[in-house]
Structure 1
């Protein structure tokens, strides 16, 4: 084994960590922690601290005899942690993630940081097979049998025989995130399955009482289960012209129930709310003291705030346009509210330090766009039950 480790030094740590990730079969460890099969299908976006691993395990380096493995990944999310591994209690480590939909590998060994990113975007909602292998001082990530990403490292220090333990984690990291060479948002709304790893059989541990399932079929969008909402500061969407403020929402409104969108500034009355009522088969828009009800048989809603009017367009039909005048005192000053306020997706903004309201949304918003920008709910303050990038199809 000493010859084996010396020959595979440098890139081997990363390769072994990658190849071990999901191949274990669950078994008792006597420590009283909840265990899961390493071959299980796992939803990475489960509720927890955003940097904490969902599942993790530890293996003795002396037990490792293979350096090749594969697993499948499916996601619409462009960014997040897939898995992590380290030795020396975190002094040497690696992270495999996505950034802008592209695989990104980062590695630290003997105080040297290396990163590499490349290949096709993987956040298309399809299952992709990732295979990792080691060739001398190079780690090779192969996607769907062809696209390759290669990470190499050459150290001038004397190679050592690795011993001790290898820690592995899925969906999070075990070292200080500030050590990352390339920073990224950690939350990953995605699934992994069908690990094929080594000849080892080891259990994975989780602090979760129960692992959330992965849906058989998914579509792009943000799913709200009726337990929370996402909040943005409206100041991050500046008003850049006389066109005012525009919000665009896509989805099957007939399948939504609860508050879709609300806007409010601290210490002020609620400026705007959009609420779906599945029982009445209608969507109600409230702006100031005015209320407008619409049948919920549309798939697209464009709301435009201008200096003197509020315009609401259903689908692409210009005849289904609702206009409210802003010249009366019954309407709030939307410009002031927009500079100082909060925008909530999936809930009604209320008073208090937590801004907690009610009428949480149940349903799927296929797209949310404000001021021409697609909203990434991972950048909001949001309830962890919300799936930021996928809905059950």
Structure 2
């Protein structure tokens, strides 16, 4: 993570927090190199078995060996104490982007027909999610314009049944009940993309 980054133990790998924006990446150099997407272009990620195992281990052991060791030390000092849920590591995803385009998809993740979408509408950040046949959740950050060509960081975070959105390190919008929205890093994800998504029968969405 370099001299200025903060390292997080992720079992078989390390994640780095590289600046005050809250962006977390595998390292603070090559992983932060930008790439450009033209109109209609997007990046699809292959959902690996490693992702599934890591997410399942996070749910069992609290996200990191460091967290686990602290809980063991605490329980040894105070055998009657139970781990505080406030200390359970958050599940989060961050993306750093810049654009002049007023409308579009930033991140799209899905588990079959359940999905999470982060995007822009009229230059404003929009969070959209749906589970099954339940009503679609739509949260627009109306007082923040990000289609200005400057770099912006969006982080989506889920912890203790609360889902929160941060833009450039600042909490924005309402806190949502994570039980009522799609798990954006579900161990059983079937699709994950950046900059757009494949519009086939599984993802025939009308919001963009």
TM range (shorter): 0.5 to 0.7
TM-score, normalising length from structure 2?
0.55
Map 1:98-247 → 2, pairs under 5 A: 98-112=120-134, 113-118=136-141, 119-150=143-174, 152-153=176-177, 164-174=188-198, 176-180=202-206, 183-184=207-208
Map 1:1-393 → 2, pairs under 5 A: 23=25, 39-45=32-38, 50=40, 53-59=42-48, 60-64=51-55, 65=58, 67-87=91-111, 90-112=112-134, 113-118=136-141, 119-150=143-174, 152-153=176-177, 164-174=188-198, 176-180=202-206, 183-184=207-208
Provide the secondary structure at the position in 1 that maps to 2:105. strand
How many residues align structurally?
140
Unaligned runs of 5+ in 1: 1-21, 26-36, 157-161, 185-393
Paired with 1:152 and 1:115, the residues of 2 have a C-alpha distance of 11
Contact 1:83 1:96 in 2 (8 A): yes
Contact 2:44 2:197 in 1 (8 A): no
Paired with 1:137 and 1:163, the residues of 2 have a C-alpha distance of 17
Larger-gyration structure (1/2): 1
Paired with 2:163 and 2:174, the residues of 1 have a C-alpha distance of 6
TM-fit CA distance, 1:174: 3.8
RMSD of aligned alpha carbons: 3.1
The structure that is helix-richer by fraction is: 2
Cα displacement string for residues 113-146 of structure 1 (whole angstroms, at most 9, x for unaligned residues): 2111114010111111222211333321111222
Contact 1:95 1:106 in 2 (8 A): yes
Contact 1:132 1:142 in 2 (8 A): yes
Contact 1:95 1:173 in 2 (8 A): no
* 4+ residue segments displaced more than 4 Å: 22-25, 37-40, 153-156
Structure 1 residues 42 and 179, CA gap change in structure 2 (3 angstroms): same
